[in-house]
């Protein structure tokens, strides 16, 4: 957090989704070291980093539970994951400029159900998150409310964010974030607009949603909006956007100095 207790600071910030963006962006594969370094070079404020653990407790950067060849990370050693081209989290943190904030998107595995809290994926990340927060802006986010509770216990000084999936009802998301004791609500942009005309009548105006999140003492991070809707979100007062195609998003959404 900054000196005023804010996670993202006084202006809206951009987070690079999986580095430079989902898939291949500017020639860089998502969640690769080159993708994260390219995002930093493009001027992004933060990067969003998917975190998983291997069978020998190595933390790796991967969105899916299995590698492209079908092997589950929970069944691989760190060396086996690296041999498949998977980036180790410690290697990313060593290479990433310290001015760039890190949002650890913690991916709970099914195997965490048989582990104690300190030995879960979140439990293993806690020490890394505490160290990281001493040198750069840091956030722990997850779709798993249980993981966020573990983060509160084991890394209490690191801000936490509740991620909500695709079209998860925004009214429930706002209330849940307030009562889960997290600092950030991070809904997918699909929760923030109506697809059908009759759905619009069931949604509060976007300004009202953002204002309610702020009134509850939380910050608002919307993830993966289109660039067109990103402008609408910024006008509504969101604190941060997790974006795909970082070079284009930075060029389009960053204000031009007067």
For 55-69, the pLDDT digits (tens) are: 999 999 999 999 999
What is the pLDDT at residue 196? Answer: 66
Neighbours of 50 (CB within 10 A): 21
Asked, for residue 219, whether it belongs to a domain, the answer is yes
Q: What is the model's pLDDT at position 258?
A: 40
Residue 258 in any domain: the answer is: no
Distance CA 118, CA 207 (A): 39
How many domains does the chain divide into?
Answer: 1
Residue 92 lies in a domain: yes
For the beta carbon of residue 106, count every other beta carbon within 10 angstroms.
29
Q: Is 1 part of a structural domain of the chain? A: no
Rounded-to-integer distance, Cα 156 and Cα 160, Å? 9
CB 32 within 8 A of CB 87: yes
Distance CA 98, CA 240 (A): 19
Which sign does the torsion angle of CA 8, 13, 152, 185 carry?
positive
| Segment 107-153, tens digit of pLDDT | 999 999 999 999 999 999 999 999 999 999 999 999 999 999 999 99
Whether 221 is in a domain gets the answer yes
- For residue 46, the enclosing domain spans 13-253
d(CA 154, CA 18): 25
Domain of 117: which CATH number?
3.20.20.190
Per-residue confidence (pLDDT) for residue 4, from 0 to 100? 56
Report if residue 105 sits inside a domain. Answer: yes
Tell me the pairing of strands 87-88 and 59-61: antiparallel
Domain assignment present for 8: no
Residue 66 DSSP class: B
Pure H helices in the chain: 33-42, 78-83, 89-95, 121-133, 145-154, 170-179, 197-200, 206-215, 227-236, 246-253
Classify strands 240-243 and 46-53 as parallel, antiparallel or unpaired.
unpaired
**Residues sharing a CB contact under 8 Å with residue 196, sequence separation 6 or more, in sequence order:** none
Q: Mark the ranges of the chain whose per-residue pLDDT is less than 50.
A: 3, 257-258
Pairwise CA distance, residues 47 & 29, whole Å: 14
In 18-120, where does DSSP find H-type helix?
Answer: 33-42, 78-83, 89-95
Q: Is 78 a member of any domain?
A: yes
Structural contact between residues 155 and 140, judged by C-beta atoms closer than 8 angstroms: yes
Whole-prediction pTM value? 0.94
C-alpha span between 229 and 217 (Å, rounded): 24
């Amino acid at each position: 957090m900054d000196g005023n207790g804010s996670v993202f600071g006084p202006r809206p910030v951009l987070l690079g989704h999986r580095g430079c963006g989902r898939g291949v962006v500017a020639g860089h594969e998502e969640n690769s070291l080159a993708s994260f370094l390219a995002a930093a070079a493009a001027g992004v404020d933060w990067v969003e980093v998917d975190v998983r653990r291997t069978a020998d407790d190595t933390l790796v950067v991967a969105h899916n539970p299995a590698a492209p060849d079908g092997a589950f990370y929970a069944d691989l050693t760190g060396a086996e994951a690296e041999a498949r081209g998977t980036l180790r989290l410690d290697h990313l943190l060593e290479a990433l400029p310290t001015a760039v904030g890190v949002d650890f998107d913690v991916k709970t595995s099914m195997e965490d159900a048989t582990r104690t809290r300190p030995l879960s994926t979140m439990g293993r990340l806690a020490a890394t998150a505490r160290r990281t927060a001493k040198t750069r802006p840091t956030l722990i986010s997850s779709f798993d409310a249980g993981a966020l509770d573990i983060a509160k216990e084991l890394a209490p000084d690191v801000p936490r964010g509740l991620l909500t999936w695709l079209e998860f009802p925004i009214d429930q998301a706002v209330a849940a974030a307030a009562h889960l004791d997290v600092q950030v609500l991070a809904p997918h942009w699909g929760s923030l607009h109506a697809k059908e005309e009759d759905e619009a009548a069931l949604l509060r105006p976007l300004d009202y949603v953002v204002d309610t999140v702020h009134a509850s003492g939380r910050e608002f991070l919307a993830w993966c909006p289109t660039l067109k809707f990103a402008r609408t979100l910024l006008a509504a007062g969101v604190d941060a956007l997790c974006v795909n195609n970082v070079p284009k998003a930075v060029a389009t959404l960053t204000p031009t100095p007067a």
